[in-house]
Amino acid sequence: MKVTHNGKSKHYRTVWFDKANNQVRLIEQRLLPHQFKIVSTKNYLETSQAIKDMVVRGAGAIGATAAYGLAQGAQIFQGNEIKTFEKHIAKVYRTLASARPTAIDPINAMRSMLTKMDGQTVATRKSQALDLAEQFADDDVAYCQEIGYIGESLIQNGTRVLTHCNAGWLAFVDYGSATAPMYYAKARNKKFHVFCDETRPRSQGAALTAWELAQEGISHDIIVDNASGHLMQRGEIDLVIVGSDRTLGRTGEVTNKIGTYTKAVLAKRHNIPFYVTIPLSTIDWKLKSGLEIPIEERSSEEVLRAWGTTDRGQRQSVSVANPSSTARNPSFDVTPPELITGIITPVGIFNPNQLWENRTKLGYNNKK
């Protein structure tokens, strides 16, 4: 995606690797939309912390970051003993895998890398790690491009689209999943409008999706999370497109940012098509029930306080809740397949219940 910053436009990926310094380079997403800044993580522990602290967030983006983190961890190993290297890389894997437990992309990315790092020497495996991390990032871009190409037909002139959280370029390496059809529709000069749920408590819709759409010149409004039902009732929303952090290939259940399930229920009530967009790395072929998905509970401070920027440009945290109250902060929910019109993948649009029967086409590997 091209970012206009300080009057200049330049193409950026959300994450890339600096081989010369063995550092992962990231867009600091917590500062957007008020400040555009690139940061570096100097080792795999810092990379894991950046994922945990949401310097980088979004399924594909943290998948690529974890992949680069695994390669980063591989490079620091000293010695030539394969068994010792394998123990070291297993520790690196565990550290990165635990950073954000709900999303499956980091797990899928690193497991795929580990199965293919089969060189006879440590030096060869280090080289393979770098190549495989780059391959995952490139595949993520290609998947999102295909999602955009396939999903673009759902958006017509005059379509009013609702999206939730940020499943855009910032959530992937490039293009995004939920936003990719919008970017392709814009490229074809279609005139449409997007409603961005603010997505409390971290406001990724208001801060990130809206910023992306503004960068692309796409017509949009930010709405509070609870306004979507009202707009649906008044006939002002025609289509819902969201992303996913983990979709179960066996059941078609979709895990996404908290509030997605609510939007799906409302869309079903008002006969509005509800689509989920996913690259192949977001599919979990193992779990058999959405109840088994680990739902991340983040700090109550995210609910009790809010970050913003003053009129003078100073970033500031303020209390927004009763000081003596506690809060619950589940970050994700699970949407059942009967509420989903279709799942847009890089290889086509499927009914949620068709994923398992199309598992070979969708990249299922019996070794997973």
Domain 148-358 has CATH 3.40.50.10470: yes
Query: Cα 346 to chain center, whole Å?
Result: 15
Contact between 56 and 73 under an 8 Å Cβ cutoff? The reply is: no
Fold of 2-144: Four Helix Bundle (Hemerythrin (Met), subunit A) (1.20.120)
Determine the pLDDT at residue 320.
95
pLDDT in tens, 221-261: 999 999 999 999 999 999 999 999 999 999 999 999 999 99
Kind plus residue range of the DSSP H or E element containing 316: strand 315-319
Question: pTM (2 decimals)?
Answer: 0.95
**Which of 202, 141, 198, 147 has the alpha carbon at shortest distance from 1?**
141
Q: Which amino acid appears at position 191 of this protein? A: K
Q: How far apart are CA 7 and CA 182, in angstroms?
A: 24
Q: What is the pLDDT of residue 368?
A: 46
C-alpha distance from residue 109 to each of 84, 155, 222 (Å):
22, 31, 33
> What is the structure's pLDDT at 6?
80
174 is catalytic: no
Select which of 139, 197, 225, 245 is catalytic.
245
pLDDT at 367: 55
Residues of the chain where predicted confidence (pLDDT) is lower than 50: 368
| Residue intervals in the chain for CATH 1.20.120.420 | 2-144
CB 196 within 8 A of CB 222: yes
